[in-house]
Structure 1
Amino acid sequence: MTIHAIHTGLDTIWVVLTAAMILLMEGGFALLEAGFVRSKNSVNIIMKVFADITIGTLCYYLVGFALMYGSDLLGVIGTDGFMLKGNFTHLKLSISTDTFWLFQGAFVIAVISIVSGAVAERINFRAYLLYVLLMTMFIYPIAGHWVWGGGWLGKLGMEDFAGSAVIHALGGFSALAAAILIGPRKGKFTSKNSSSIALPSNLPLASVGAFLLWFGWFGFNAGSTLTATDVRIGHIAIVTMLSAAAGGATALIYTLFRYGRSDAPSVINASLAGLVGITAGCAFVSDQSSILIGAISGLLMMGATNWLEAKRIDDPVGAFPVHAVSGVWGTIAVGLFATKGGLLEGGGWHLLLIQLLGLIILCGWGFLLTWAGLKLINKWVPIRASNDEEDLGLDISYHGIMATHTSPEFLQVNDYLNRNED
């Protein structure tokens, strides 16, 4: 066996294993979101995640991958490689196209899952399925081509190693557009401009989801090397850990001194914010910079959560604060702290300005295409669940079952059904 064959084999094993780690993050999304919403909507959360995995995977195989990684047309879009039929030698991979597709397919599922949480408890399930098609076939792949597929932003020099911008900022601003357009859950905001708290149904479940996401993030970031022999893997792993720890610790300490108690949802989401923040620069920044990036990500996440409340925008799981705001900060942080080219490392303004330009384009693309797409979908299928469906719960309304038959909400559903029968 030649050295080349051994190298290819090791790279293939590495990429397949990290792709599996990223896929496991869907279990994290499912548990996190199910724990944050009311129990009468938790099955609906699980079914949306399954829609992401099943329909999203097929759409990306049929269309999305080609638009993202096919032969470049004017720096804007890929033109071939549908159903992986074509020549991908321009990608200069050390692994097979099939292996690379598996890794990228895990990424696209993560993007759509970000939007899922922001519209939890009130989106029409049929409309959501149509949106999955739009995101996985067009919105994300075309934006991804601009940065990673040989498109114009990548050629300008934008750096986004594992997706703070392409995945998280784009997904987060798409989530913001969806949350604004669909509107808040019934009773979330009162006429006196105050917010009613819909208590999470199961915070231990949400925390397990966060731990699964944290675990999968090592595959997300370190796997983006696409090779098992990259000497940066250890560094990528440690800065990923440090940033997440800094984000969570910042929220833990801040809420302890600010409110006299450590707020569990804030600590959970701040840890995830730290992971999002380091995703763009995990291969480019120092250990010390990663701690600062994570700490600021945690603070920005809490500030953005308060901003949403002030603007009366309902985001049940914090998708926008965690993914969009931290993703924006993480992308900017590359322009500030990258050891090669960062402004604060003596590299001048060039990289930072490119990062800012890329963010404006990607965030605007996600927001506007999601807004227009949902408006179009709403002409055929109402994007908002009906009042009765929302009162009853999306589990019963769309899936005919509830997660548990022992919760107080189950008794409320029974009372509701009995009153309607009378």
Structure 2
Amino acid sequence: MDDMLYLMNSLWVMLSAILVIFMAAGFVMLEAGSTRMKNAGHIAGKTVFTFGLSCLVFWVIGFAFIFGDNANFFIGLSNFFYSGYELEDMNLSSSVFFIFQMAFAGIAVTIALGGFAERAKLSVYVLFTILFSAFVYPVVAHWIWGGGWLAEHGKQDFAGSTVVHLTGAMAALAATFLLKPRIGRFNKNGSANAIHGHNQVFTSLGVLILWVGWFGFNAGSTLSVDGGFFGYVALNTNLAAGAAAVSALIISWVVLGKSDIPTILNGALAGLVAITASCAFVDMWASVVIGLIAGILVFYSARLIEKMGIDDPIFALSVHGIPGIWGTLSTGLFATPELATIGQPGLFYGGGFTQLGVQAMGIFVSGTFAFAASFIILFAIKKALGGLRVSEEEEIMGLDMSEHGSYGYPEVFANHTNQAISGEK
């Protein structure tokens, strides 16, 4: 029976890892659809490349810094260049666990790079991916998942509202500060101009792919089929996403007079981000409440971020940052005594403010570190490369052509070029 459980656990986590890796396809569709046509090929290609690059960095150094032996409160210090050896106290294949964790690291990088969209040099993507995957994500992950100091305080983050989503969002925030807004995004008086994505169908498909992949993200984090608890985690995940999509639709309808499609899509993602920390610690009714609040937060936070003059093309801050904070805090409110296998029950279940304080501390420290480290890395890259952005001419032309020499939609742009030439003649 032990051997059977070992095999079943390994199979389940391997399937979950595949779902998480497939989330990269969701980000391709989401980001390409949310940006302009002239950058679509670039967005798709850099997502695939940087995901692959982050996996190599994770193999060399990331896994060791998170889960390595001889660890201290800050970081692990062994098991570099993971070679397939079995880890202790795991009732599944260690290689499967490794690739599952590798997939999480790749998703964190993808979220961070959303803040670079439509204006960063390809070389910046390459260098930042290496350094973020080596020295930013693994540190936060060790603190919370690898037995670091936040884990010792009982920080609750079942599948990564802080570790993956907030860390990625804070890196994206650092990028938006240093890269500055896209050309034409804001006027001299500070008012904003909308830059619409070119394909809402792509964006919608991307959201649905991510929604499905999230079952690997959250339910897979049980690391076991024993007792079927992964089904409960999946149910909480689905309820929160549905509730957030509904609340986002309603709030946009009430405020704008129309049900805004990007808001609905971002709402669903916000619900998924928020429930990621608490999906294993809360009752089902609480997952609905968490989702409802996340859908409202994503609407107002996107508007606030725009008013602050921050250009966030893929909504990394309002989708992954603010809901990541809310989701992390929510366990300090709703974690039940029966499900709080880590830390303490939440405020509404007699646990007082203890767990809420731990959650808030984890948010502040992890978010501050991710932002500061990412800012320093990007500032150093800026000095080394002589700038982070492509030239104004290249940005207007589009990164498909300026960075790769071909458009993602060659027939469309060939027709435009031919028409322009005909007009000149």
**For this structure pair, what is the TM-score category when the shorter chain's length is used for normalisation?**
over 0.9
Query: For residues 259 and 304 of structure 2, what CA distance do their matches in structure 1 show?
Result: 20
1:363 pairs with 2:367: yes
Which residue of 381, 403, 417 corresponds with 2:408?
403
Q: Which residue of 2 aligns with 1:62?
A: 60
The Cα of 1:327 is off from its aligned counterpart by: 0.3
Report Cα offsets for 1:146-202 as digits up to 9, x if no partner.
110111110111010000011111111111111111110001001122111112100
**Mean Cα deviation higher: 71-80 or 162-171:** 71-80
Report Cα offsets for 1:331-354 as digits up to 9, x if no partner.
000011001210111111111111
The Cα of 1:282 is off from its aligned counterpart by: 0.2
Q: Which amino acid aligns with 2:63?
A: F
Query: For residues 119 and 414 of structure 1, what CA distance do their matches in structure 2 show?
Result: 31
Q: Which residue of 1 aligns with 2:341?
A: none
The Cα of 1:405 is off from its aligned counterpart by: 2.9
1:134 pairs with 2:139: no
Judge conservation of contact 1:80–1:86 (CA < 8 Å) in 2.
no
Q: Which residue of 2 aligns with 1:304?
A: 301
Query: For residues 80 and 88 of structure 1, what CA distance do their matches in structure 2 show?
Result: 14
Q: 3-state SS of the aligned residue for 1:380?
A: helix
Which residue of 210, 223, 227 corresponds with 1:226?
223
The Cα of 1:207 is off from its aligned counterpart by: 0.2
Q: Which residue of 1 aligns with 2:391?
A: 386
Note the aligned Cα RMSD (angstroms): 1.9
Query: For residues 136 and 410 of structure 1, what CA distance do their matches in structure 2 show?
Result: 38
Judge conservation of contact 1:402–1:410 (CA < 8 Å) in 2.
no
Residue pairs, 1:13-412, within 5 angstroms: 13-85=11-83, 89=87, 92-340=89-337, 341-381=345-385, 382-407=387-412
Report Cα offsets for 1:81-111 as digits up to 9, x if no partner.
1111497645x21112211111001101110
Judge conservation of contact 2:42–2:404 (CA < 8 Å) in 1.
yes
Q: Which residue of 1 aligns with 2:342?
A: none
Task: Go from structure 1 to structure 2 and tell me whether the alpha carbon gap of 1:328 and 1:413 turns closer, same or farther (over 3 Å shift).
Answer: farther
Q: Which amino acid aligns with 2:214?
A: W
Q: 3-state SS of the aligned residue for 1:352?
A: helix
Task: Go from structure 1 to structure 2 and tell me whether the alpha carbon gap of 1:414 and 1:170 turns closer, same or farther (over 3 Å shift).
Answer: farther
Query: For residues 356 and 118 of structure 1, what CA distance do their matches in structure 2 show?
Result: 24
Query: For residues 414 and 70 of structure 1, what CA distance do their matches in structure 2 show?
Result: 58
Task: Go from structure 1 to structure 2 and tell me whether the alpha carbon gap of 1:110 and 1:5 turns closer, same or farther (over 3 Å shift).
Answer: same
Report Cα offsets for 1:37-57 as digits up to 9, x if no partner.
000001111122112221111
**Mean Cα deviation higher: 380-389 or 139-148:** 380-389
Q: Which amino acid aligns with 1:224?
A: S
Query: For residues 388 and 138 of structure 2, what CA distance do their matches in structure 1 show?
Result: 23
Report Cα offsets for 1:99-155 as digits up to 9, x if no partner.
111100110111011122222100111111100001111110111001101111101
Judge conservation of contact 2:86–2:95 (CA < 8 Å) in 1.
no
TM-score by length of 1: 0.95
Q: Which amino acid aligns with 1:394?
A: L
Q: 3-state SS of the aligned residue for 1:312?
A: coil
Q: Which amino acid aligns with 2:355?
A: L
The Cα of 1:73 is off from its aligned counterpart by: 2.9
Query: For residues 180 and 415 of structure 1, what CA distance do their matches in structure 2 show?
Result: 38
Task: Go from structure 1 to structure 2 and tell me whether the alpha carbon gap of 1:261 and 1:362 turns closer, same or farther (over 3 Å shift).
Answer: same
Judge conservation of contact 1:40–1:410 (CA < 8 Å) in 2.
no
Task: Go from structure 1 to structure 2 and tell me whether the alpha carbon gap of 1:410 and 1:141 turns closer, same or farther (over 3 Å shift).
Answer: farther
Q: Which amino acid aligns with 1:358?
A: G
Q: Which amino acid aligns with 1:354?
A: V
Task: Go from structure 1 to structure 2 and tell me whether the alpha carbon gap of 1:379 and 1:413 turns closer, same or farther (over 3 Å shift).
Answer: farther
Judge conservation of contact 2:51–2:109 (CA < 8 Å) in 1.
no
Q: Which amino acid aligns with 2:399?
A: L
Query: For residues 290 and 201 of structure 1, what CA distance do their matches in structure 2 show?
Result: 33
Q: 3-state SS of the aligned residue for 2:384?
A: coil
Task: Go from structure 1 to structure 2 and tell me whether the alpha carbon gap of 1:101 and 1:289 turns closer, same or farther (over 3 Å shift).
Answer: same
Task: Go from structure 1 to structure 2 and tell me whether the alpha carbon gap of 1:168 and 1:372 turns closer, same or farther (over 3 Å shift).
Answer: same
Q: 3-state SS of the aligned residue for 1:83?
A: coil
Q: 3-state SS of the aligned residue for 1:81?
A: coil
Q: Which amino acid aligns with 1:4?
A: D
TM-score by length of 2: 0.94
Judge conservation of contact 1:280–1:334 (CA < 8 Å) in 2.
yes
**Mean Cα deviation higher: 330-339 or 300-309:** 300-309
Gap regions ≥5 residues in structure 2 = 338-344
Q: 3-state SS of the aligned residue for 1:353?
A: helix
Gap regions ≥5 residues in structure 1 = none
Judge conservation of contact 2:50–2:125 (CA < 8 Å) in 1.
no
Q: Which amino acid aligns with 2:373?
A: L
Q: Which amino acid aligns with 1:173?
A: M
Judge conservation of contact 2:25–2:206 (CA < 8 Å) in 1.
yes
Judge conservation of contact 2:157–2:277 (CA < 8 Å) in 1.
yes
Judge conservation of contact 2:39–2:398 (CA < 8 Å) in 1.
yes
Judge conservation of contact 1:189–1:196 (CA < 8 Å) in 2.
yes
Instruction: Give the fraction of aligned pairs with identical amino acids, expressed as a percent.
Output: 38
